[in-house]
């Protein structure tokens, strides 16, 4: 997975920033050097995409599949795509990838969906923060405005996604149950809630299987059981 992701990142960075692409990682590089090269390539590509949403839109068809290949520990690939396309197209794509393919691909798609859930339009937030830093807006008032902006964001129509979450949750639960790799399962434990009330009745057996696995390995899946973060919190 890492090699495929690196090769694709190299190609996209070469298209986005041909004059700044450091080139591929040497074949004899150490694992640490390969890791650092991957991180640097992703970061440079993310910065180029975030600075030019039109570029992101032009490259979207090639960028979207990378979300299922990445570990998605950062928002570097997801946020520029969501800002350019909207949350709904991105989440729809991730749901499709969460249903088919290899277990790592499915887990990657489910993990990327986290960034869809937490993304917010930044224009108003940036204005509030800049005004507060300039000293013309009291800090407490800025905090109030930021809280209001978070609670009532002015999302575009293609950012409305509440109807899509059950499909993502079901795909994540199916991967959690049927994948035998506990490391991949750990990546999924914040990708779906165990609360049966949030699913159609026919999904109860699936959720029951997921709960049994989580309870049997509670030292690994405590976040899923306690709903401490991620999609366990009501959206």
pLDDT of res. 146: 76
pLDDT of res. 124: 67
- Cα gap 71→172, rounded to integer Å: 15
pLDDT < 50 regions, the chain: 231-235
pLDDT of res. 19: 79
pLDDT of res. 231: 46
- Cα gap 50→174, rounded to integer Å: 33
pLDDT of res. 1: 53
What are the helix (H) ranges across the chain?
A: 2-16, 31-51, 53-58, 60-63, 78-85, 87-99, 103-118, 123-134, 139-151, 165-178, 182-188, 204-216, 222-226
- Cα gap 76→49, rounded to integer Å: 9
pLDDT of res. 2: 56
**153 and 76 in contact (C-beta within 8 Å)?**
no
How far is the CA of 112 from the CAs of 42, 183, 205, in angstroms? 15, 16, 26
**Would you list the domain boundaries of the chain?**
1-118, 123-158, 162-235
Both structure tokens of 72: 């998605």
């Amino acid at each position: 997975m890492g090699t495929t992701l690196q090769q694709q990142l190299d190609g996209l960075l070469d298209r986005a920033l041909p004059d700044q692409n450091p080139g591929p990682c040497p074949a004899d590089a150490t694992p640490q050097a390969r890791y650092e090269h991957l991180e640097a390539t992703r970061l440079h590509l993310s910065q180029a995409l975030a600075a030019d949403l039109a570029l992101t839109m032009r490259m979207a068809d090639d960028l979207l599949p990378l979300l299922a290949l990445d570990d998605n520990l950062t928002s570097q690939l997801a946020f520029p795509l969501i800002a350019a396309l909207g949350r709904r197209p991105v989440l729809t794509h991730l749901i499709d990838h969460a249903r088919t393919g290899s277990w790592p691909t499915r887990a990657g798609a489910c993990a990327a969906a986290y960034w869809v859930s937490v993304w917010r339009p930044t224009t108003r937030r940036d204005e509030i923060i800049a005004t507060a830093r300039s000293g013309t807006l009291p800090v407490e008032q800025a905090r109030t405005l930021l809280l209001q902006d978070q609670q009532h964001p002015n999302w575009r129509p293609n950012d409305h996604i509440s109807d899509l979450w059950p499909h993502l949750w079901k795909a994540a639960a199916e991967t959690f149950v049927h994948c035998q790799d506990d490391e991949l399962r750990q990546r999924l434990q914040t990708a779906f809630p165990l609360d049966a009330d949030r699913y159609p009745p026919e999904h109860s057996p699936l959720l029951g299987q997921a709960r049994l696995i989580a309870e049997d390995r509670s030292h690994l899946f405590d976040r899923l059981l306690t709903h401490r973060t991620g999609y366990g919190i009501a959206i």
